[in-house]
Amino acid sequence: MRVSLKWLREFVDIEVSPEELAEQLTLAGLAVEAIHCPGKEIQQVFTGRIVKIEPHPNADKLVVCRVSLGAGEPLQIVTGAPNVAEGQVVALAVEGARLNGGLIIKKAKFRGVESSGMLCSWQELGFDAKYIPADQVHGIMVLPPDTPAGMDVKPLLGLDDVILELEVTPNRGDCLSMAGIAREVAAIFNRPFRFPRPQVAELAKNIAGLTQVDILNPELCGRYVARLFTNVRLRPSPLWMQERLRAAGVRPISNIVDITNYVMMELGQPLHAFDFDTLREGRIIVRTAKEGEALVSLDGVTRQLTREMLVIADTAAPVAIAGVMGGLETEVTEKTVNVLLESAHFNPLSIRRTSKALGLRSEASARFEKGVDREGCLLAAARAAQLLGQIQAGDVLTGVVDNYPSRREPVKILLRPARVNYVLGTELATEEISATLTRLHFEVNNAGEELLINVPSYRNDVHQEIDLIEEVARLHGYNKIPGTLPCGVNTLGIRAREGMIADRVKEILVGCGLTEVVTFSFVNPGVFDQFNLPAQSKLREVVKLQNPLSEEHSVMRTWLLPGLVEVLRRNFNRRVMTGAVFEIGRVFYPRANELPEEPLKLAAAGMGEIAGGWNVPGLPVDYYFLKGVLETLQAQIGVNFSFTPEREHPAFHPGRTARVASGEEDLGILGEIHPDVLEKLELPLRVVAFELDFGKIIALAQERKEYEPLPRFPAVQRDLALLVPRNVPAQVVGEIIKQAGGPLLRSVTLFDVYEGEQVKKGFRSLAFSLKFLAGDRTLTVEEVASCIENIAAELVQKAGAEIRGEKIG
Amino acid sequence: MILEQSLRRMAEEARMALERAKSLEEINEIRIRYLGKKGELTRILRGMGAVPPDQRPRVGQAANEVREAIEAAIAARTAAVKEKIKQVRLIEEAIDITLPGTKFGLGHLHPLTQVRRQIENIFLGLGFEIVEGPEVELDYYNFEALNIPKDHPARDMQDTFFVSEEILLRTHTSPVQVRTMERMAGRIPVKVIAPGKVYRRDDDATHSPMFHQVEGLAIDTRITFGDLKGVLQTFAAEMFGPSTRTRFRPSFFPFTEPSAEVDISCVMCGGRGCRVCSYSGWLEILGCGSVHPRVLEMSGYNSEEVTGFAFGMGIERITMLKYGIDDLRLFFDNDLRFLEQF
């Protein structure tokens, strides 16, 4: 909210700088986001009356004006403004003046005619485009004709003002007004608050009998105050009022509308002015809308109303959406003679629902939905009536209609000073607490050890003791409360097992060269087609967002892989050709009548080649790279992975993919992404990836490690080279060796694979390194030889292998 | 006498030969030539027969002395040559130590993970336990049990993604407060932090539809607003350095009262005012407050007997301040050139 210091000063004396004021307001909970000094740069600009206009002798588009500053000779000013006319009062920047943006005005000749200054536009004085009257957008600023010449425009236009931009929290509806802020300022600085007491000059004619207000839904409209104005003369409001409205961010419209806005900004009570003669039978009926009713609101839009919406109606039809916006039909116009002024109180929830349902928010609805002071309706109506007379916009009939069916119950709260100190950790004396609340206009009565607090009617955010404790803390100053550490029973700061394993796994993956990424949990439903998933795939059962930001982010992910592949693609498009990334995150499986299941997944994807150096070759990011990552992982966290061929998964290369399991438990998939998928993604590199159920891995992880004594006798190593038919998997060969090797064979390591010219067709060469060890003796050459013989025989028989050679490793 | 002269001459010859010897091979040749089976010494001693028997012991002793002298000279020369060879080898073996070392190609942890761990470690040290909660959450836990009923204006502060009328993507980690209180069923003390993803329907340079928060909750018999201040001051000093100042400003959250927003002195300018802190000298880092009595009551605690505090901070915000990152979107863009900087 924008707060003019000039306006604020009507209610409270301010003795500090705007910066200090902003700081203190911020520390009291009204965060000042900016301080504006709109006329900071403007100097030497005065009101001037155009006495005479003559054509420019040498230019068709220029004219020569004589502008009077009141006293002294009129100045000669050349201007090209299209809207200039004799008799106008304008803003004249004289020689030496400064304008918005730092422009300095000097005497100058325009096509041979001297000009002693410049007529200013709104823009040149720094006004925002939204405040400029339509007929003055392309020309100079024209001031009301009764404005005296020779005045400094800065005070006149509010250019000497300072505006604070405040952020008011949603609980403080009472601060959405100048008076509300002034009350806070008065409390903060312990200064008197000047309560507004408007004096209304009324005609002899009485409102009684001229109108009638009926409230059919008192739970939605607690109070309705009406006043009648007559002899209304619609015209622009005076400069001072316009200036205040602009300072508050409101565009001036006409004197009647400006009065309602002025009072709303000043006191926080939204008002509405009806053209009284357009109300059928001159009556106001506050009721909910009937099925099928509609209303053209002031902005010209036809609004379909529902039975939940509260409207102001006459005897025939709705004329306004209560608390949200008036109707076009009953709008105040130049023809208006009589005005009915509404100052009412509406149910915040109802206003909020209506405004949400209609997608229509106004300054009024924003205030009503945060709660307006229903005790303030009369005051606001009186203030409007006073202003009407003051600016000679019309006359006020005697009396008001005040229909007040739902009176406010006084709010009285017992406050225990000991509790204040208990909650805050302070040692405030009762008198201090009492004085603090009194400054905020709470009525404080002593009740033994305790204080009985009567809450002011506008503080609808204060209902219970804790609310008062906050008020005390806020005004006392949060920064005066000493910081302490909690005493009491010590607690153990522990990381849960899941978190520890996840952290460990991340370290290992980073150690393997993978980089962690974080992708959005919502994805494009199109990814399922992109990744070739069949129509019946479980992964297509998604948690859908009702109100996504876009289709691209409209369903919750059911797997991580598409996100990771997208990361690779994006990097590839930015010429980053190598990448190995991983993510640990949740996916979401819908469940009927329940929150979705949120299993934790671990996925990785990679492409390209991890660069080597001048002394080591590069490392291709391929199937074996990621398999190696998983094998490294299993040794570190104590889970055994097994890999079996997976030829069916439509997103993966049928010949380069494995299911990953641990014992009976399926964990996920590892493999190369199917070339069809990559083609759709326009990613011309091979991409390899895995996605595993991380929750299961955590459950399987075996942190317990048992020490095995070091061998006391030397191991014997033998290398065995074999020719094996190409279709026999290396794992099978390894298993045969292990089986046949017996208990002395401690480890089998494949160290070379070769197929090519020296190997006969349909075969490949595999070389294993075998380690034999006995716990109780040094093995003899014969023992080892017998083992090898056994192994060789089994390999020949079971794998169709040929032994190429054996050597002592 | 002649024999002894011969021996001395031979010794002198051997010494000179050794002085000239440059390699171990040459030394070996010298050894063979003088001390070998068919060497000079043997040859000279063959003339022993001509020596009168009474002189033989003296000549024999002289021969031994000569042998020992030559052997010592050989040993000395061998050591010298070996040292020389080693010196040459060391010079020849010099490498270009300016060539880069072997690459190990480590990956990188996401900066958000790194900062989340730092935050966790600080609170672990203060005795907080780490807990988690679901990201798709019931309206009840996300709003209602936090004193934000339907149609409450405070719901406007957090634009929400809905799955159904009652199910939504959590807009903050605060529902974990409620779940923790329910799980603890009135037991104290409660001291937890809950890191995790949260979602809001916002997308621009300063808002991401998904981001991360860390929630904190403490409940005990004597927890004060002062304790909240102390804990968060400790956190700020650990996270941003001991000279960091904090400022607590009153604010509004429906589930805490009194509520506060916490600013730290600007990490860039130290509080003098700069572009990063909009010339205020302060940076907002988190929201917090004493747990609202109604929230305690709704979750089964007696608000007269226990009090508590809660706080919530954005991990992105803290990460941006720590590393001087100026665009929130970089965190989820996952450009490797960005991630590899951490």
Residue A809: per-residue pLDDT: 58
Using CB atoms, which residue from B110, B134, B233 is nearest to A483? B233
Contact B250 A29 (CB under 8 A): yes
Distance CA A610, CA A578 (A): 7
Chain A positions touching B225 (Cβ under 8 A) are 423-425, 473, 478, 481
Query: Which of A275, A240, A230, A283 has the alpha carbon at shortest distance from A257?
Result: A275
Query: Which of B183, B153, B135, B143 has the alpha carbon at shortest distance from B299?
Result: B183
Average pLDDT over residues B89-117: 94
Residue A724: per-residue pLDDT: 93
Chain B positions touching A626 (Cβ under 8 A) are none
Contact A491 B127 (CB under 8 A): yes
**Separation of first and last alpha carbons in chain B:** 89
Residue B59: per-residue pLDDT: 83
Between helix A18-27 and helix A178-189 the angle, nearest 10°, is: 90
Q: Is the ipTM of this complex over 0.90?
A: no
> For the stretch A217-253, what's the b/e string if a residue is b when 16 or more beta carbons lie within 10 angstroms of its beta carbon?
beebbbbbbbbbbeebebeebbbebbbbbbbbbbebb
Contact A510 B136 (CB under 8 A): no
Distance CA A282, CA A289 (A): 19
φ/ψ bin of A123: left (φ > 0), alpha (ψ from -120 to 50), beta (otherwise): alpha
Chain A positions touching B120 (Cβ under 8 A) are 495
Distance CA B51, CA B44 (A): 12
Q: Whose structure tokens read 């291709």?
A: A620
Residue B329: per-residue pLDDT: 92
Q: Whose structure tokens read 């409450």?
A: B152
Residues 6+ apart with CB under 8 A from A291: A306, A307
Q: Residue B276 pLDDT > 80, yes or no?
A: yes
Q: Whose structure tokens read 């048992």?
A: A706
Cis bond upstream, residue B209 (ω within 30) = no
Q: What is the full DSSP assignment across B43-70?
A: HHHHGGGGS-GGGHHHHHHHHHHHHHHH
Chain B positions touching A616 (Cβ under 8 A) are 102-103
pLDDT: is B55 or A163 the higher one? A163
User: Mutating which of A518, A547, A698 best tests the B interface, going by the most B Cβ atoms within 10 A?
Assistant: A518
Which H helix or E strand runs over A586?
A: strand A579-586
Distance CA A110, CA A80 (A): 10
Q: Whose structure tokens read 């900016």?
A: A34
Rg of chain B taking only CA atoms, in angstroms: 43
A615 in contact with B at a CB cutoff of 8 Å? yes
Average pLDDT over residues B39-43: 85
Distance CA B208, CA B196 (A): 15
Cα dihedral A579/A583/A589/A595 (nearest 10): -150
Residue B201: per-residue pLDDT: 93
Distance CA A795, CA B9 (A): 75
Chain B positions touching A545 (Cβ under 8 A) are 161-163, 169
B98 in contact with A at a CB cutoff of 8 Å? no
**Residues B173-205: pLDDT tens digits?**
999 999 999 999 999 999 999 999 999 998 887
CB half-sphere exposure, B306, CA atoms < 13 A: 23
CA distances from B101 to A513, B105, B257, B341 (A): 17, 12, 58, 20
Phi and psi angles of residue A391, each rounded to the nearest 5 degrees, phi first: -100, 10
Helix (H, G, I), strand (E, B) or coil at A426: coil
Contact A516 B339 (CB under 8 A): yes
Distance from CA of A771 to the nearest CA of B (A): 29
Rg of chain A taking only CA atoms, in angstroms: 42
Chain A positions touching B157 (Cβ under 8 A) are 170
Do residues A257 and A273 lie in contact, with contact meaning Cβ atoms separated by under 8 Å? yes
In chain B, alpha helices (H): 2-20, 24-35, 40-46, 56-92, 111-125, 139-142, 175-184, 225-240, 293-298, 315-323, 330-333, 336-339
Burial class of residue A759 (count of CB atoms within 10 Å of its CB; 0-12, 13-18, 19+):
middle
Residues of chain A with pLDDT below 50 are none
Confidence of residue B1 (pLDDT cuts 50, 70, 90): low
Give the number of A-B residue pairs with CB atoms closer than 8 Å: 254
The interface residues of chain B toward chain A in range 177-236, judged by CB-CB distance below 8 A, are: 189, 191, 197, 199, 201, 203, 209-210, 218, 220-227, 229-234
Do residues A297 and A321 lie in contact, with contact meaning Cβ atoms separated by under 8 Å? yes
**Residues B288-342: pLDDT tens digits?**
999 999 999 999 999 999 999 999 999 999 999 999 998 999 999 999 999 999 9
Q: HEC string of A605-617?
A: EEECEECCCCCCC
Contact B109 A494 (CB under 8 A): no
Distance CA A100, CA A93 (A): 11
Query: Which of B246, B243, B264, B251 has the alpha carbon at shortest distance from A479?
Result: B246
Residues 6+ apart with CB under 8 A from A688: A605, A606, A607, A621, A622, A623, A625, A626, A656, A670, A671, A672, A673
Taking residue A107's Cβ as centre, other Cβ atoms within 10 Å add up to 11
Q: Residue B154 pLDDT > 80, yes or no?
A: no
Average pLDDT over residues B27-56: 86
Using CB atoms, which residue from B110, B120, B218 is nearest to A516? B110
Residues 6+ apart with CB under 8 A from A635: none
Residue A588: per-residue pLDDT: 98
Contact A493 B339 (CB under 8 A): no
* Strand A515-516 versus strand A412-415 pairing type: unpaired
Chain A positions touching B128 (Cβ under 8 A) are 491, 493
Do residues A586 and A601 lie in contact, with contact meaning Cβ atoms separated by under 8 Å? yes
CA distances from A22 to A163, A314, B103, B169 (A): 10, 46, 56, 37
What order of strands is seen across the sheet that includes strand A310-313?
Answer: A212-215, A283-288, A310-313, A318-321, A325-326
Using CB atoms, which residue from A425, A473, A547 is nearest to B227? A425
Using CB atoms, which residue from B112, B157, B249 is nearest to A478? B249
DSSP tag of A745: E
Do residues A120 and A94 lie in contact, with contact meaning Cβ atoms separated by under 8 Å? no
Taking residue A322's Cβ as centre, other Cβ atoms within 10 Å add up to 31
Do residues A626 and B112 lie in contact, with contact meaning Cβ atoms separated by under 8 Å? no
